[in-house]
Structure 1
Amino acid sequence: MENADVVLIAAPMYNLTVPSTLKAWLDHVIIAGRSAGPGSSVAGTPVYVVASRGGSYEPGTPREGTDYVRNYLTAVLGGTLGMEVDFIVPELTRAHLHPAMAGLVPKAEASRAKAFEDAVTKGKAAARRVA
C-alpha cells in the first residue's frame, strides 16, 4: 500500500459493517509510527471505496445512522492513515431479489447507474492524478 499511487477497496456491507476479511487486512496495514499517525507513509494517497449494500442507509431512511461502513472506513483510512477517502455507493442491491422491495427497484437501478457514473468519473480523475 505504501507504494500505491491509488488504492481501490471493495467493502460490501455485512451486518452493518465491513467484512471480516477487510477488517483483518486493515489490522495488518495499520502500523503505528509507520502507516498510522503523524508522518504516515500513506498520508495523502487517494483511496476509493466501493461500499455496496442491500438496503439504503441514506439520510431520511429508517436505517439512517447505522452505516458503519462509511463511518468506520472514513475514521480508519482518513483519520488514522491520513489517506484521501472517497466513496462510490451502490445501494438497494437486493431490491431485485425480494418481493417486499419491488417498489424500490427503480431507486436501486438509479443507484447502480450513479455508482457506475461515479466510478468512471473518479477513475478518470485518479488516472489524471497519477499520470
Structure 2
Amino acid sequence: MHLFRLDASIRTTGSVSRALADTAERAWLAEHPGATVTRRDLGAHPLPSDAWSTLARAAVDPSAPAPADEARDLVDRLATELLDADAFVFAVPLYNWNLPAQVKAWIDLLVLHPRLGVHGDQPLLGKPAVLALSRGGGYGPGAPKEGWDHVTPYLRRLLGEVFGLDLHIAEAELTLADVTPAMAPLRGLAAESLKKGHEQAAAHGVRVAELIRA
C-alpha cells in the first residue's frame, strides 16, 4: 500500500491542517502498518515560481524559448507521485480566503501533465483521499464571511471532478481564535470545531484504508 501526503502550511509547528493530516495518516497507517508514505511539503519547499509560466508559454507561443528539461521533469515527477499512490491525504489551509500560492503552483503544473489534465484519461478516478482543511475564521451559513472560502469549492472541483478522486473532508474553523483577542468569544466554538475536525480525520483515515482493502 502506498499513501501520498501533501502539506501546504507555512507553519511547521502549530499548524492545524498538518495536525488534522497527522490524525488521518495515523489512522490510515494503523490499518496498513508498514505501508509506504510519500510526502511533499509545499510549505517548507515551494515549487519554482516560473516553472508553470515557462511551460505554458512554450505550449501556446511557438516563438517562446524552449523550457528547460528541469521544468518538464518536474511535471513528470509531481504526476508520478500521484500516479504511484493508492490513497491520499491533502492538508491545505485557507490563506486570504483562497489557496496558498504554493498549492496553486503545484496544481497548475499537474494539470499540464497529459494524463492528469482536463484532457487526460483520469488515471486517479475513484482513488480515495482525505482533504484536511483549516480556516482561521468562520465561513459557515450565517457567518459574516459566508461564501468567502474559495478553497473548498475549488479543491472539490479540481481533486474530485478533474482528477476524479473520492474525497473525504475533515475541516476545522476559527483556528485563529486563541491568538486573536477580538475572537475570544469564539474560542469555545473553535475548540468544538477542532475536536470535530480530528474526529472526522480519524474516521476518514480508516474509511480510506477500508476502501483500498475492498
The interval holding the TM-score normalised by the smaller chain is over 0.9
Aligned to 2:78: none
What is the percent sequence identity of the aligned residues? 36
> In angstroms, what is the RMSD of aligned CA positions?
1.4
Kept after mapping to 2: 8 A contact 1:40/1:82: yes
Aligned to 2:197: 115
State the one-letter code of the partner of 2:145: R
Corresponding pairs, count: 131
| Stretch of structure 1 that moved more, 15-24 or 76-85 | 76-85
Q: CA deviation at 1:46?
A: 1.6
State the secondary structure of the residue aligned to 1:118: helix
Q: CA deviation at 1:7?
A: 1.1
Q: CA deviation at 1:33?
A: 4.4
Q: How does 1:1-131 map to 2 (within 5 A)?
A: 1-31=82-112, 33-37=114-118, 39-131=121-213
Q: Quick one: distance in 2 between partners of 1:32 and 1:84?
A: 20
State the secondary structure of the residue aligned to 1:93: coil
Gaps of 5+ in 2: 1-81
State the one-letter code of the partner of 2:178: H
State the one-letter code of the partner of 1:60: G
State the one-letter code of the partner of 1:130: I
Displaced runs of 4 or more, over 6 A = none
Q: Quick one: distance in 2 between partners of 1:105 and 1:4?
A: 38
Larger radius of gyration between Structure 1 and Structure 2? 2
Gaps of 5+ in 1: none
Higher strand proportion: 2
Under a length normalisation based on structure 2, what TM-score does the superposition of the two structures give?
0.58
Q: Quick one: distance in 2 between partners of 1:85 and 1:123?
A: 11
Higher helix proportion: 2
Q: CA deviation at 1:35?
A: 1.5
Kept after mapping to 2: 8 A contact 1:30/1:81: no
| Stretch of structure 1 that moved more, 41-50 or 98-107 | 41-50
